[in-house]
Each structure stands twice: as C-alpha cells, then as structure tokens.
Amino acid sequence: MSSDEIYQLIAIIIYMVGMLVIGWYAYRRISNLNDYMLGGRSLGPAVTALSAGASDMSGWLLMGLPGAIYVSGLDQAWIAIGLTIGAYLNWLFVAPRLRTYTQVSNDSITIPSFLDNRLKDNSKILRIASGIIILLFFTFYVSSGMVAGGVFFESSFGLSYHSGLLVVSAVVIAYTLFGGFLAVSYTDFIQGLIMFLALILVPVIAVFVTGGVGETVDSIKAVDPGLLSLFAGATTAGVISSIAWGLGYFGQPHIIVRFMAIKSVRETKQARRIGIGWMILSLMGAILVALIGVAYFQQNPSATLVDPEAIFIAIGQVVFHPFIAGIMLAAVLAAIMSTISSQLIVTSSALIEDIYKAVVKSDASEGRYVLLGRLAILVAAAAALYFAWSKNETILDLVGFAWAGFGASFGPIILLSLYWRKITGLGALAGMVVGAVTVVIWGSSETLSGILYEIVPGFVLSLIVTVVISLITYKPNPEIEAEFDESIRLLKEEQ
C-alpha cells in the first residue's frame, strides 16, 4: 500500500470510529421501542433536515449521479431537478401534517402502524401488507448501498469488491444495531455535513486544476458540446421520467419517518429551509464534479477512469493532499452508510412493529422488543448482502427500482390519508398493492421501462384505484372523523 493510500485509510478509519462512538452514545439513551425506532420524537430541525437529506441521497449523490452526468451530460440533471421539486413539496405538504397526525392516531411510530391506526383496520391486513412491501423494496435499496460500498473500496484502495462490501456492512450494521434511530439520525447529521463540505470543496478546487471556468468549458466542449445541454439527447418521455423521480418522496419510509420524529410542527419550517438549501447546493456540487471530471480526463489523456461512478473519488484524489482526499472519500462512505442505516432501521421496524406485533399477540417487555428489533436488522442486512454479493446492476438502477416501488406503493396513500377523509382501509390496500405490482411488472420489462420510468404508471394507477375503491367502500366513522379534526386543530395550534 502506498503512502497516499495509508493517509487516506487513516482518514477513513477515523471516520468509521467516529460513527461507532455515536452509535455507542445513542445506545445509552435507549430505554424502550419508541426510543429505538423513533428517537422519542426528539429531533431538532437541523438534525431532522440533514439526516433526511443524507438518508435520501445515498451513494447516488456522490457516485450514481456524477457517473450518469459524466457519461451522458446535463440531460441526466433532470432527475436532480425533479428530486428538488419533490423534496420541497414533501417538506411543505407532508411533514407538518404527518407529525401531528401520527401523534394523534395512537402515537404511531412507523408508516404501516400509522396507516393501520388512521384507517382503523382491525384486520391488520393493511399493516402486514405495508410491512411486506417495505421488506421487498428495501432489500433492493439496502443492496444498492452495499454495492456502492464495495465499489468505493475497490476504486479507492484496490481492495476486492467483496472485501469492501463486508467492511462497510460490518460498521453500518454495528452502529445501527446498537444505537437504533437516534444513532442513525445523529450519524446521518454528521454524514450530511461531510457530504455537503466535500461537494462544495471538490469542484471549487478542481476547477483551478483544469485551468479555470473558461478552459474547463472548452475542454468539455472538445469532448462533446452536448454534454453541457439539458436537452441534447433528451426525449420528452425521458424528461418526464426524470422529473417524476420527485413523486417518490411522498412514499419513502426512511425519509418521512424523520417528519414523525421532529420535536414539533413549528420546527418543520426551519428544517425545510435547511434541508432544501443543503440539497440544492449538494446536487449542484455533484453535477459540477462530473463536468469538471470530463474536462480533467480530456486534458490528461494518459489518466484513466475505470468506473464512471467513481468520478468523484478520482477527482478528489487528484486535487487534495492524501489525508484530505481521505476525508473526501469519507464523504462518499458517509453517503452510502447514512442510507443503509436509515433503511435498516425502517426494515427492522417493519418486521417487528408492523408484522411480528400484528401476527403474534405478545405481551413481551419493551426490552425484548428492542432485542427483536436488533435481530431483525441482522436478518435484513444478511438478505441485502446476499443480493449485493453479485454486482450485476448499476447503483442508479437498483435505487431507481426501489424508489419507484415506495413512491407508487405509499405516496398516494400517504397524501390521501393526510388530506382526504374518505380514504378507506380497503382502498389503501388495493392502491398499495396495485402500485407495487405495477412497478415490478413495468420495471421488469426493458421495453416499458425504457419508454417511461415505472413510478409514473405505478403512482397514477395506485392513486386512481385508491380513490375509486375508497368511494365504493366508504362508511362514516366518528373516531376517524374526530382524529382527522384533532390533527388539523393541532396543526393550526402549533404552526
């Protein structure tokens, strides 16, 4: 191992130890299942915003997106535009109402338990079905993060893909296993800061390496002028598909669970400003890194880039001292690990809070439920590791499929639950299943998915089916009406 790699490895080790220390700190604050799964609804606006952003962006922000821009140009930035719009609307319309409604509706601590309590589904079928859908799509989502971890160590230190996979998995499983939701949120906050600083600093410094703005632009044009166009190579269906990524936000359990955990509705406004500001600047940084990377490799033809999704890593190693480059590498690892941990804790809650508790009528102690939650994390991680072992998909493909699955399954249901009194349990169940099945069928067809991103038909069909079935099966329920009114009253009182 070279001296440069030793410096970088030291930085990575310091980062990983820091994450484990935070996990230990959070472990000492856990006393019951609510603490383990939702942090006791104690998050401040900054932690909420950055933890939501870090868990959202994942390895896609520093690997998937820059890789796509590097290969195809700015026409891939439509995804970033769609995501920014979707995230803003999610903070504006979902965050405040979900915070109050989950508290009013039997203090729900997961999305499936909220839907169950909100719609008074005594059969528990809706809750179990929601939990199963979470398990299905999070297996692919967690796998995408693990794939990114393997690629990271392979690109950075020359380790085998499988060695990198195991290192990342071991550390993230450890702090999530012991520290639960609080550890995930605190580590996500730190990871969000690291990601933000890296995405600002790398393009700002790298543009001087490529000769300044003018020379950088000229070098990009020398490769392909179309790389700088939002429309070159873009089709109408392609733009719609990319912007439609924004629809996914309304149904991502690992993101909207942060809205349930914030201290108060009043703080969602400040969290929205922090979160959207972080997101816009981070996405711009990722795009600029990719474009500057095109210029750098055009100016240095002897340099080689084995994997386009490692462009951020490559440029960071070029422009910084090895130790600082190691910190930049830690930003990539932060993006990967923040999302894996968030998804593991939601998967654990789905297994225990939404499936086990619904199926097994148990009066187990809170301590036993926390233990079961930790075992569930191990099971979920093992399943994801199995699928990640054979790297046969790009990170963006894996993320895209899971993102569409959640967006189409839960997005329409969450929105209707918060804003429409007449949604019913049967309507929500039918819409959820239709959304999930549509995404699986559409996404499995290269022809259909090549025409339009599967979230579009999945979301639309789920919405239509939910509304139609709800109108057919609706019966007034005084308890539901009272909770709906109470949630609105609290919302107005706390804003």
Domain assignments of the chain as residue spans, ordered by start: 3-391
Tokens of 267: 């703080």
302 in helix, strand or coil? coil
| The pLDDT of residue 37 | 61
CA 494 to chain centre: 28
* CA separation for the pair 52, 46 (Å, rounded): 10
Q: How big is the CA angle at 236 (ends 235 and 242), to the nearest 5 degrees?
A: 85
User: Secondary structure of the chain: what % helix, strand, coil (to 5)?
Assistant: 85, 0, 15
Q: What is the percent of the chain with per-residue pLDDT over 90, rounded to a whole number?
A: 36
Model confidence pLDDT, tens digit, residues 396-432? 576 778 889 999 999 999 999 999 999 999 999 999 9
| Over residues 23-41, mean pLDDT | 69
On whether the 3-391 domain is CATH 1.20.1730.10, my answer is yes
Model confidence pLDDT, tens digit, residues 276-324? 999 999 999 999 999 999 999 999 998 888 788 888 888 988 888 888 8
Q: Is the pLDDT of residue 38 over 80?
A: no
The alpha-helical segments, DSSP class H, found in 90-227 are 95-104, 111-119, 125-157, 161-209, 212-223
Contact 109, 36 (CB under 8 A): no
133 φ, ψ (degrees, to nearest 5): -65, -40
Rounded alpha-carbon distances, angstroms, from residue 59 to 163, 243, 358: 18, 20, 34
How many C-beta neighbours within 10 Å does residue 58 have?
Answer: 26
| The pLDDT of residue 395 | 58
Model confidence pLDDT, tens digit, residues 220-272? 999 999 999 998 878 888 899 889 999 999 998 888 888 888 888 889 999 99
| The pLDDT of residue 253 | 86
For the chain, the distance separating the N- and C-terminal CA atoms, rounded to the nearest angstrom, is 56
